[in-house]
Every structure is written in structure tokens, then in C-alpha cells.
Structure 1
Amino acid sequence: MKRMLTAAVAMTLTLSLGASALAYSGTITLNGTKLDTSKLPDAPAGSAIPLRTVAEADYGFADWYADENRSFFSLDGNSIYVDCATGAIEVNGETLSNMKATFVQGTTYVPASLLSKLDGYSAQVKGSDVTITTPNGDELVSLARSIIDKVEMGASIKLDAAGMEESYNIPADCFTEAIGFFPMIVSADTIVIGKVADGKMDDAKAALEAQRALTQQNFEQYLPEPLERAKNGQIVTSGDYIMLIISGDNDTAIQMFKDGVK
């Protein structure tokens, strides 16, 4: 009798979690890179995206709030909450009425169509294979992030040209495309990479030098290490491209920049 009850409890728990003994049967390709799905359980019907795996591979993160019984996922500034009891999904403050998450052995799966709710994201499903594109697949964004990872920069606030103009007075019309990553309060680490518009190279240099000088000014009364980094910040060009770099290893960053925009 005890064995039968134990087996029944185990079966109930398995069903409630939507568990599967099978490994993930498809592939997930994110911005041209195939993700490792070898440790994932198979996806339930209608929900192809393992949200934590995709978020962490796309420079985002995941967390769980035990007191609320909700999971949190961050993807490129988008906030996604999942109710672990009901599967309800909230995206940037809006609860989706026609979509639920499913849980399989602790893995949160969502329909591929969820990604269409996020600016710059898309997911194409063909059979059991999923191809995802995100804003982090952009060439300049990818280059900037690779530099940040390589030289271990503390720059986490991502802004496009319009955002840099609004927040830092770097004129958007200096560039045909640009991306910047800026620090939190106690770091000076900064990287801006842009393709300069015709006739705007001098203006772009001046704007980025003004940003470097402002960063230096912000640390002149305290925190000597970020102050030195800001003082040693450099503005470099390669063809039509320009970069402001404030980091602990500018030489490596500059070489990566020049190799990346050839």
C-alpha cells in the first residue's frame, strides 16, 4: 500500500510539472549560434521557447521571487514575469490574455509568438527547430558586447543613438548607426561604437570627447580608480567608424574594434 501511494504521489508531481523523460528534440539557433539544449527536457506542444536558456544566451538573466511564486526574465531591457502557479505571462507590465507558460522539470517554456511582443525580436519555428533573432544580433551591438566581455567592463546600460542623445547629449545625427553601453553609478566603463554620417566625423569626435570629459569630471572628487580610467579614455577611428572606450584594457578593446569594422 505504501509503495502504491508513493508511486501515485510521484506520478501526480510529474504530471503537475508537465515533466518529460525525453531530452529536447529540436534545435534553437539564436542570432546564428546554435544553443546547447542537451540538458533541457523536451518542449510541450505549442511552447517551443525555454525562456531562461534564451534570456541568458541573449545577455539577459532570470530570477525567481519565492514570496510571489513568480519567475522574472530580462531580455534586452524587456521585463517578463511568469506566474508559477497559473502560467500567466506579463510583458512590460501587460498581462497577456491569450498565452500561458508551461513548466517541464523546472524549465519554463513559452510559445514562440511571445518574442514578437518584444521590439526587435522574432522567432521562426520549423518543425521542432526554432530560429531566433534579437537586437543583440546587430553587428555593432555584437561587437560592443564582445569587447565588454573580453575586457570585463562594467558597462550595462544599453542605448541606441536616440537614447544617447536624450541621456548624454551625443547628437544622433552624427551617426547612421550607433550603440553605446554606459556604466552604473560607481563605474566609469563606457563604450560607444558608431558609423559616422557623411561630413560628421569632427562633430562625432567632439561629442565623444565631451562625454569622456564629463565622465572624468563625475569622478574627480572621489573613487580614484574610475577617475584614472576616465582620464585614459580614448576615441579611435577606423574608416567611417568611431569608438569611445573607457575600460581597464583599452589596447585590447581598440584592436577588437579595428578588426571588427574592417
Structure 2
Amino acid sequence: MKKMIVIMLTMVLVLVVSACSGNKTSTTDDKTAPIEPNVSAKEMTEQMLAEVEQPALMELTAEDLKNVYDLDAAKLEDFSVRIPMMMVHSNEIAIFKVRDVNDIAEVLAKVKGRAENAMKSFEQYLPDQYENAKNHKIVTKGNYVLFVISDQADKLITVYDRFFTEK
């Protein structure tokens, strides 16, 4: 019972934080559900990186995902996360396909926690990378969550959006 209350409170908190966080999170219109991509999250990430140059990024494993995002890969049907190889860049790309739509709020909370950690990492270290992390983007489409830290985030999102519109 206590666990259910904590989950409900967490969901409410995520909704309140989302409403107050400005335009960093966008969702699709319920009337026009996105087309389900016919490629994996890894293939989407690779295509995004092929079209929009980024600093060297390394791919996270399921174990890394737990350590970096505090996110259990069992809740995900598919994922691809790329983080900087060296901590002189804040660039990051993460695509999560959530198994159960009811877990979207939890994944969003974990992603927002990761965004906060990224900002804190660079706040006193590299001001330009701190600004980059501050301007992160989170996009939800159906069961997918995209998290991007990049000075070219809009270009990366444009490539990502094509996976949901092409047939």
C-alpha cells in the first residue's frame, strides 16, 4: 500500500515538474498517434549520429544504465544511450522504448534526474558545457522517450522525428 502511494506521489510530482519546466518536454498530439518506427533504438541513434556530428560518445549497457540513470532495463523494450567518452563534453543521446506506457512517468523522472546530474557535473567545471546541459531536450512519442544534450539538439530531434513519420 505504501509503495502504491509513493508511486502515485512520484507521478504527480513528475507531472507538476513537467508543467513547470518550460518547453523542454514535448509530447505527440493524442489525436495523431506516431507511427511505430521499424528500426531499433540503436539504429535510430546511429542514424542521428551519422547525420548530425557529435563528439565521441560511448554506448551504455543495461548495467551502465542502472548506474548512470538509476533505471532498470527490464522496464524497457529497447534502448540506446550514448554518453561522452571524456568528461569535457556534456553531449548525450538516449532513446528509451518503454515496455508499459504506465512506466513513462518513471522513465521521465529518471531522465530528468540524469539531466540534473549532468548540469551539476559541469556547473563549476566547464561553463559552456553547463549551458549545453541546461538546454537539454526531452521528447515523448507513444512509448518512446528521447533525451538529448547537444548544441545541435534541434537537428537531432528532426532526424528522430522522421522515424515516426516515414512509412
TM-score by length of 2: 0.68
User: Is 1:186 paired with 2:83?
Assistant: no
> How many residues get paired?
125
Maintained 8 Å contact 2:40/2:78: no
Question: Pick from 147, 152, 159: which aligns with 2:53?
Answer: 152
Matches of 1:235 and 1:216, distance apart in 2: 15
Specify the alignment match of 2:22 in structure 1: none
Matches of 2:79 and 2:63, distance apart in 1: 9
Percent identity over the alignment is 28
Matches of 2:79 and 2:117, distance apart in 1: 20
Specify the alignment match of 1:256 in structure 2: 159
Q: CA deviation at 1:240?
A: 1.2
Report matched runs for 1:20-169 at 5 Å.
139-169=40-70
Amino acid at match of 1:196: V
Task: Report the structure number with the largest CA radius of gyration.
Answer: 1
Q: CA deviation at 1:155?
A: 4.6
Maintained 8 Å contact 1:215/1:230: yes
Matched residue SS, 2:88: coil
Q: CA deviation at 1:151?
A: 2.4
CA displacement 1:172-219 (0-9 Å, x = unmatched): 233111110001210100011011121100001111111111001000
Runs of 4+ that moved beyond 4 A: none
Matches of 1:168 and 1:203, distance apart in 2: 11
Matches of 2:93 and 2:158, distance apart in 1: 14
Specify the alignment match of 2:11 in structure 1: none
Amino acid at match of 2:45: A
User: Is 1:174 paired with 2:70?
Assistant: no
User: CA RMSD, aligned part only?
Assistant: 1.7
User: Is 1:222 paired with 2:125?
Assistant: yes
Maintained 8 Å contact 1:229/1:248: yes
Matched residue SS, 2:161: helix
Amino acid at match of 2:88: V
User: Is 1:197 paired with 2:75?
Assistant: no
Higher relative contact order (CA 8 A, sep 6+): 2
Structure with bigger strand share is 1
Matched residue SS, 2:124: coil
Q: Which runs of 5+ in 1 are unaligned?
A: 1-137
TM-score by length of 1: 0.45
Maintained 8 Å contact 1:151/1:247: no
